[in-house]
Amino acid sequence: MEIDGQNKSTDADFVILGFSTSESLQIIFFVLFLFMHLITLSGHMAIVVVTLVDLALYTPMYFFLRNLSFIEVCYTLVIVPQMLANFLARSKRVSLSACAAQMYFFIALGGAECFLLAVMAYDRYVAICNPLRYTVIMSRNVCIQLLVVACVSGFTISLGLTTLIFSLPFCGSHTINHFFCDIPPVLFLACSDTHANEVAVFLVCMMILLIPFLLILVSYVFITNSILRIKCTEGRKKAFSTCAAHLVVAVLHYGCAIFIYIRPKASYSLDNDKVVSLFYTNVTPMLYPMIYSLRNKEVKGALKRVWEKKFVSMET
């Protein structure tokens, strides 16, 4: 048994190092990231509610957008609350099982989001490149099946990878140089050969990150080619506006993740990686609702209708 002040833990406990700053800065960070977290949750929940309530948004594109926002809400809830608690907590210990659970849901939801972004690119490809058959190809049953495949794939892959990582012995330092139980900092703590695990992580990241991202890029080559052949200027602007939001989100999401996970272990810098991870777990999820709503007249129109309906009902 190890005693640190008044806190006790077994050797199975991990310690989340977080950000080594003064107590006053910890409080400032807590307030800042709490504010960002509330904006993130509000933005994504607004998209979920609006796409459920407004019948004009009962289309495949908004079906996928609604589920993407719901996944994003769950994704941030897995990471941010613990990070906020650690800003104020004196003891930053987390049990091995809690650390494994956080990693599992982080990878599962992140993987599901990666696959769903690829599905959304396919939806845009069919809508623009094959509009006459769009309603037939992207039927409700097909949309549900694609969503289920994306989610099941993410959760299944995560189960295998998390089990592989936490089957390693951790007999040295148990201090995780990060603000959550991410893959690279946990692997650094293993006291056995992790080469096989690193290969597995690389292959999984190829499957979750690179392949869907390449499919998105290929889809947008065809989409751009089709848009440029549209003779109507207004039609081209609408098509570009609809696709631009999804492409920006995809580049932000995949770009940060590829930087973190698909590179040699020797080039890791955990302190720098914490900053990048802070960006894609806190900043980009906050930006996604703004990107989708500001670039999309239908979403803005639906938000306005729901807002007006709410106040009209309150007045009556």
Phi and psi at 162, nearest 5°, equal -65, -40
The answer to whether residue 128 sits within a structural domain is yes
Buried b (16+ CB within 10 A) or exposed e, 134-168: beeebeeeebeebbeebbebbbebbeebbeebbeb
User: What range defines the domain where residue 88 resides?
Assistant: 19-307
Q: Which two tokens stand for residue 47?
A: 């998209």
Assigned domain for 9 exists: no
Is 286 within the bounds of a domain? yes
pLDDT of residue 11: 52
d(CA 173, CA 103): 19
Backbone torsion region of residue 223, taken as left when φ is above 0, otherwise alpha when ψ lies between -120 and 50, otherwise beta:
alpha
Whether 313 maps to a domain, the answer reads no
Pairing of strands 93-94, 14-16: antiparallel
Give me the tens of pLDDT residue by residue for the chain, a chain 316 residues long.
343 433 344 456 888 888 766 777 888 889 999 999 999 999 999 889 888 888 778 889 899 999 999 999 999 999 999 999 988 887 788 999 999 999 999 999 999 999 999 999 999 999 989 989 999 999 999 999 999 999 999 999 999 999 999 998 888 778 888 899 999 889 888 888 888 888 888 899 899 999 999 999 999 999 988 888 877 777 777 777 777 888 888 888 898 888 888 876 666 676 777 888 888 899 889 988 888 775 566 666 666 666 666 655 555 4
The answer to whether 116 and 147 are in contact (CB under 8 A) is yes
In a domain, residue 11? The reply is no
14 domain-assigned: no
What pLDDT shows up at residue 268?
A: 66
Question: What's 188's domain CATH number?
Answer: 1.20.1070.10
| pLDDT confidence of residue 100 | 94
| 171: CB partners within 8 A, 6+ apart | 11, 191
**DSSP character string of 186-247:** HHHT-SS--HHHHHHHHHHHIIIIIHHHHHHHHHHHHHHHHHHT---HHHHHHHHHHHHHHH
Q: Residue 230 — left, alpha, or beta (φ > 0 → left; ψ -120 to 50 → alpha)?
A: beta
CA 107 – CA 142 distance, rounded (Å): 25
What pTM was computed for the model?
Answer: 0.87
DSSP 27-52: HHHHHHHHHHHHHHHHHHHHHHHHHH
What is the spatial distance between Cα 260 and Cα 215, in angstroms, rounded to a whole number?
A: 20
Residue 9: the pLDDT is 40
**pLDDT at residue 122 in the model:** 95
Number of domains in the chain: 1
What per-residue confidence (pLDDT) applies to 307?
Answer: 62
In a domain, 79, yes or no: yes
Determine the residue type at 24: S
Task: Look up residue 120 and give its amino acid.
Answer: M
Residue 259 is assigned to a structural domain of this protein: yes
